[in-house]
Amino acid sequence: MSTDLMVSGIGVVTPWSDRAGEAAHGPREAGPEPWFDHRERLGPRGYKYLPSATQYLLAATRQALADAGEPEQQEERRGAAVGTNSAAVAVHTAIDATVVAEGARMLNPATAPYFSINLFGSRLATEHALKGFNLTLTSPRVAGLEAIEAGSRAVGLGRASWLLAGATEEALPEGDPGARTSERGAVALVLEPADRLRARGVRGYGRCAARSLFLPPRAAAGAADRLRGRIAALLTELGLPEGRPHRTVAVVDDSPVAAAVSAALGTGATRVEAGAGSLEPVLQVAGALAEGEGPVAVVTAAGEGNLAVVLATPPERT
């Protein structure tokens, strides 16, 4: 399986900036509400009743495809993989309230289909004729990086010639667990085989590859040493030469699993507070690529035991 995929396009939509580096590393002071206007970003018709997470994803995807130079390929050779944790929470809450108060007959036919989480990736695939495959992943915290991993595997196996991967989240309803650390926005990455980019005369942002793993929460205590070796092995597998200097970003919360990851990475890692969803790790990858940093390893973990490691390498290193 070939994993030599290069990022040729980046799209970012957040409340504070649509520039990848600034969104990931700069000040996060959101502008006045509402910060996102679907009419301005997407057009006056056909988008009004879509869930916010879908609107964010479609807008970020438009940016990424334009940035990549609209890679051409027959529709059956385009793939998409999307990670999310909270895209459907507001829809589910609204559906529950409507059914309880007014009955199922009063459900909005435009939003009710989004009760199925798969529709978020499917709507993206419909918008851009991505007929090779489309996946929506929901693993806590790591869903966006798993989208890169699973989508890249599918490209390597010949199911598509290029991939659109990313993450999208929308704010959790007030009172919902995790509402304080809600994430809003989307990141989209266009990934193409390196030889395809060379044929198009495009330099790209660099190589991007991910791997996921699992650490049972009950085994987190005392797992730092084993985890340190496993992360190092994964980075080598992803293409980082042993002993090669690199920057590490740990996107972590206060869970025992995240504490084990922090201990394994040591004091040299830059720690970034994780949000309630899967957006922050992908945002850190986009920021590293856009700023030409590298190699940069982004490691994240969820309290449920999900872990993921991604290596972003600038083009001169690939």
Per-residue pLDDT tens for 225-270?
999 999 999 999 999 988 888 999 999 999 999 999 999 999 999 9
Nearest to 234 by CA among 211, 208, 257, 215: 211
142 burial (CB, 10 Å; 0-12 / 13-18 / 19+) is buried
DSSP assignment of 93-125 equals HHHHHHHHHT-GGGS-TTTGGGGSTHHHHHHHH
What are the extents of the domains in the chain? 5-200, 206-317
CB 166 within 8 A of CB 120: no
pLDDT for position 1: 43
Q: What's the CATH architecture for 5-200?
A: 3-Layer(aba) Sandwich (3.40)
Terminal C-alpha separation, the chain: 17
Residue with tokens 């988008």: 47
For residue 318, the model assigns a pLDDT of: 43
For residue 13, list its beta bridge partners: 186
pLDDT tens-digit readout, 157-184: 888 999 999 999 999 888 887 888 899 9
Residue appearing with tokens 């993450």: 167
* Residues in the chain, pLDDT under 50: 1-2, 317-318
Question: What is the pLDDT, as a whole number, of residue 317?
Answer: 44
pLDDT for res 302 = 96
Strand (E) or helix (H) holding 286: helix 279-290
Say how far apart CA 242 and CA 142 lie, in whole Å: 25
Closest CA relative to residue 65, chosen from 192, 170, 196:
192
Largest CA distance in the chain: 63
Q: Among 167, 183, 138, which Cα is nearest to 285's?
A: 167
> What backbone torsions phi and psi does residue 32 show, to the nearest 5 degrees?
-65, 150
pLDDT in tens, 32-49: 778 999 999 999 888 998
Cβ-Cβ contacts under 8 Å for 97 (sequence gap 6 or more): none
